[in-house]
């Protein structure tokens, strides 16, 4: 019987493990952190799960936070720095949701273990992957930091050699949700973006602020200031920057109760986007497939990383069930089947970080047409189609025409 | 409004044209032969349409030969040259059918024209394609002989630089159908294969014999002997070779009525399998996509060419409807979406022409297990899966185990 090793217990590792377990394929998770360490640790990210990811959770029986209650249904856009500030909204067909991964991952790991799943705690570096390969028919590597470097970077898919944003993600009290409940997508031209995210935290509903700060801009310091040195000063600085750069978020802040939830609820840093090769053959002959961050790291500005990783897990899971061997032919199949989606996420996100004029024009057009903005918003659930729509000026023009024409027809 | 040129009016050209017409996309067919020239000309091929192709015909409203009446439902295998002659059968889930293309193509061309379609008769060489490109937003080249050479051969997908069989395809009277009605798949080890095909011809039900003759073998002369020099001698030679090499076809022959239907019902020759690049950019800037024989030529031994071509037409048609531009991004998408299927046909067929030991072993195992033979037969409708099953010895072993295990379970 085929035995699968999954190295890493993030969203893609867990989704693949739960899927295989559901289909009686022997699987072992290798990870370097216990559920308690994750639950009690620092904020991991602030990523949304879009409908396609939630649908997979439902199929696996791990959709513990019902999207109708915990989710949100739109993007609330604001732009400042233009002659007139802009504000517009795009609606989803189905809700998305954001759960603090310190709740989400331990809960799914617990589901996996309660259903009889095996977890081995230990190092998850390249040497470990080689060793694990000897005991299994396939290793799926989903530990980006530990073992991602085993997979070569693909230069043709990596336009950047350094981070394009310096990041500050934190969970805050004191911000009222928009009506209808949505993610705030705020832009301060020349300085960066703010994603204002209705997150479910250990203290219930709260707001994650993900500041995407352009290096050299007025907001870059948010990636550097230290909360623990002076919590009051930290909150004060964030509030001042919100007021100045993101007034359409600030207008819903209650200054009296505003503040970071706690010292572990902040993640500051930066990342360089990368796409790596899909697979390698280990010295023992077993193939190792890259998945999630070990395969593709994107800036969080579009909130697509977890969804791309979960999609990849699904492709791999179905291919394992369906195919006849776990050989190079299998690995190439996985690569082909996930390429449009995973590279769509990567190409689209890389484009958004330094948008060409036609993409800026698309945002302006979205401000004029709700139908167009809805189409762009719904494509967060179809990142392959989103890349189709922004890859070239001609494509963006056709996308605008298609959806504004629909709108005109709908209005007749 | 997007305007599509299709160069070539074979099965893929017609299927794409009818599909686009059905969806109100402006399309023009360019071809070098009129319907009357095709109807009155030499035999074009003897290819089967499998279920997926017939399903597309139904969707387009051009399934004029109902498969339940005109089709067949199994492969009747025979092998001579082994210590004991072998005989075994594999069943399809759904019928396939074989219609003489001198009936099929003119009928579909007529459908297209009756529905308002435009056909331009003229040369279909590279110069014509360049000229046509200037008048359209995309050119789909489906004229293998005329313009296929515009697309570069892909050496990594082309294991052969010369024909592996010398061919004789003809329509004959005097052969009773098998019961149940099926295609006879006969092998004479060291000499070649005979496909015995229940074809619908201008004279109604008849049998096409496609002799796949190994160069240097005892049957090679069938690709050379001239019918018109001496029809009686020709029929006599074919009959003698049938008796000697393909006794399990010969046993159903009535020697008194056996003979080629007529002088135009014979096609002799040879072809070198080739896979070409998916697309080029014409000098005018318009992209040209290769389809059908302009993209991929396979030996007819598996009867897959038309099905692969029609599948390709469907992928292209849906991509045209769905996508936002007809640019290189679009062409790459088509390439990705058809790769597993079209290259599956090519790789599988190339493997069968000079089967590795594990594929010979698969045939032997099929003779022992009807469930396995059914699975192999049904994969004529899923050539991507067939290639998955024969690509390596390990895969073939797994394929055998999967289907013989099913069989064992089913028998419990």
Q: What's the rounded Cα separation, in Å, for the pair A114 and A116?
A: 5
* Test the B interface: residue of A325, A342, A344, A382 with most B CBs within 10 Å: A325
User: Cβ of B336 and A333 within 8 Å?
Assistant: no
Tell me the nearest-neighbour CA distance from B16 into chain A, angstroms.
Answer: 22
Is A332 in CB contact (< 8 Å) with chain B?
A: no
Is A392 in CB contact (< 8 Å) with chain B?
A: yes
Short-list B10, B299, B303, B300, CA closest to B140:
B10
Tell me the nearest-neighbour CA distance from B277 into chain A, angstroms.
Answer: 17
Task: Provide the sign of the torsion angle of the four alpha carbons A173, A175, A181, A187, taken in this order.
Answer: negative
Chain B hits for A399, Cβ within 8 Å = 324
Q: What ipTM was assigned to the predicted interfaces of this complex?
A: 0.92
**Tokens representing B132?**
């046509």
Of B336, B392, B399, the CB nearest to A327: B392
8 Å CB contact between A293 and A305: yes
User: Cβ of B392 and A329 within 8 Å?
Assistant: yes
Q: What's the rounded Cα separation, in Å, for the pair A106 and A110?
A: 6
User: Cβ of B329 and A391 within 8 Å?
Assistant: yes
8 Å CB contact between B198 and B177: yes
For residue B332, the chain A residue with the least C-alpha distance is A340
Please identify every stretch of chain B with a pLDDT value under 50, giving residue numbers as ranges: 409-412
Q: What's the rounded Cα separation, in Å, for the pair A321 and A20?
A: 8
Burial degree of A240 (CB within 10 A; 0-12, 13-18, 19+): exposed
**Tokens representing B53?**
């192709």
Chain A hits for B329, Cβ within 8 Å = 388, 391-392, 395
Chain A hits for B389, Cβ within 8 Å = 324
Domains detected in chain A:
4-32+122-160+272-352 (3.50.50.60), 166-269 (3.30.9.40), 356-411 (no CATH)
**Tokens representing B378?**
């049904």
Helix (H) or strand (E) holding B145: helix B144-147
8 Å CB contact between B86 and B248: no
Chain A hits for B395, Cβ within 8 Å = 324-325, 327, 329
What is the residue whose two structure tokens read 């996420």? A345
8 Å CB contact between B265 and B168: no
8 Å CB contact between A7 and A123: no
**Tokens representing A378?**
């719904």
Q: Count CB neighbours of B64 within 10 A.
A: 13
* Test the A interface: residue of B325, B326, B328 with most A CBs within 10 Å: B325
Short-list B305, B303, B280, B299, CA closest to B290:
B280
User: Cβ of B388 and A340 within 8 Å?
Assistant: no
Q: How far is CA A65 from the centre of its chain?
A: 18
Tell me the nearest-neighbour CA distance from A352 into chain B, angstroms.
Answer: 18
Please identify every stretch of chain A with a pLDDT value under 70, giving residue numbers as ranges: 1, 406-412
Helix (H) or strand (E) holding A248: helix A247-250
Q: How far is CA A113 from the centre of its chain?
A: 25
Beta bridge partners of A188: A80, A192
Is B388 in CB contact (< 8 Å) with chain A?
A: yes
Is the whole model's pTM more than 0.90, yes or no?
Answer: yes
8 Å CB contact between A359 and A328: no
Tell me the nearest-neighbour CA distance from B135 into chain A, angstroms.
Answer: 19
Beta bridge partners of B406: none
Q: How large is the angle between the packed helices B357-368 and B383-390, nearest 10 degrees?
A: 110
* Test the B interface: residue of A324, A331, A376, A387 with most B CBs within 10 Å: A324
pLDDT at B408: 52
Of B323, B325, B388, the CB nearest to A323: B388
Q: What's the rounded Cα separation, in Å, for the pair B179 and B251?
A: 13
Is A91 in CB contact (< 8 Å) with chain B?
A: no
User: Cβ of A392 and B336 within 8 Å?
Assistant: no
Of A324, A340, A398, the CB nearest to B324: A398
Is A38 in CB contact (< 8 Å) with chain B?
A: no
What is the residue whose two structure tokens read 């995407």? A212
A window 297-326, beta carbon within 8 A of B: 323-325
Q: What's the rounded Cα separation, in Å, for the pair A273 and A164?
A: 9
User: Cβ of A325 and B395 within 8 Å?
Assistant: yes
**B56-to-B19, B25, B98, B317 alpha-carbon distances in Å:** 9, 18, 15, 12
pLDDT at B145: 82
Short-list B156, B135, B193, B187, CA closest to B339:
B156
- Which SS3 state, helix, strand or coil, does residue B116 take? coil
**Tokens representing A216?**
């050299």
Short-list B162, B143, B159, B160, CA closest to B151:
B143
Chain B hits for A339, Cβ within 8 Å = 336
Chain B hits for A323, Cβ within 8 Å = 388
Q: What's the rounded Cα separation, in Å, for the pair B152 and B278?
A: 9
Of B323, B388, B389, the CB nearest to A388: B323
pLDDT at A412: 39
Q: What's the rounded Cα separation, in Å, for the pair A203 and A174?
A: 13
Is B243 in CB contact (< 8 Å) with chain A?
A: no
Which stretches of A174-286 are assigned E, i.e. beta strand? 182-188, 192-201, 204-213, 259-260, 266-269, 274-275, 279-281
pLDDT at B406: 56
């Amino acid at each position: 019987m085929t035995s699968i090793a999954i190295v890493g217990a993030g969203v893609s590792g867990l989704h693949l493990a739960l899927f295989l377990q559901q289909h009686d394929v022997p699987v072992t998770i290798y990870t370097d952190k216990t559920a308690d360490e994750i639950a009690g640790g620092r904020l991991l990210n602030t990523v949304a799960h879009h409908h396609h990811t939630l649908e997979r959770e439902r199929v696996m029986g791990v959709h513990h936070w019902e999207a109708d209650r915990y989710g949100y249904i739109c993007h609330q856009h604001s732009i400042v720095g233009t002659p007139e500030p802009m504000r517009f909204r795009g609606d989803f067909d189905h809700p998305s949701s954001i759960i603090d991964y310190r709740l989400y991952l331990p809960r799914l790991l617990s589901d996996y273990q309660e259903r009889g799943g095996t977890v081995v705690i230990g190092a998850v570096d390249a040497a470990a992957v080689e060793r694990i390969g000897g005991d299994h028919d396939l290793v799926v590597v989903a530990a980006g930091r530990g073992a991602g470097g085993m997979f070569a970077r693909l230069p043709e898919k990596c336009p950047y050699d350094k981070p394009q944003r310096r990041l500050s993600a934190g969970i805050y009290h004191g911000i009222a949700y928009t009506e209808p409940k949505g993610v705030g997508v705020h832009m301060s031209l020349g300085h960066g973006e703010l994603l204002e995210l209705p997150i479910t935290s250990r203290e219930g509903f709260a707001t994650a602020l993900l500041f995407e700060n352009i290096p050299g801009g007025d907001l870059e310091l948010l990636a550097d200031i230290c909360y623990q040195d002076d919590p009051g000063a930290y909150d004060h600085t964030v509030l001042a920057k919100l007021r100045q750069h993101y007034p359409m978020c600030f207008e819903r802040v209650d200054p009296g109760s505003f503040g970071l939830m706690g010292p572990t609820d902040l993640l500051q840093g930066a990342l360089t986007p990368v796409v790596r090769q899909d697979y390698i053959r280990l010295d023992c002959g077993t193939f190792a497939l890259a998945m999630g961050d070990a395969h593709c790291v994107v800036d969080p500005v579009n909130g697509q990383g977890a969804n791309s990783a979960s999609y990849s897990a699904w492709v791999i899971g179905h291919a394992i069930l369906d195919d006849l061997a776990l050989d190079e032919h299998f690995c190439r199949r996985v690569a082909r089947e996930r390429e449009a989606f995973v590279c769509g996420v990567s190409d689209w996100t890389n484009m958004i970080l330094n948008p060409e004029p036609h993409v800026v024009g698309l945002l302006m057009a979205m401000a004029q047409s709700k139908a167009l903005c809805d189409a762009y918003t719904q494509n967060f659930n179809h990142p392959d189609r989103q890349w189709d729509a922004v890859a070239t000026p001609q494509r963006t023009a056709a996308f605008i025409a298609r959806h504004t024409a629909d709108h005109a027809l709908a209005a007749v």
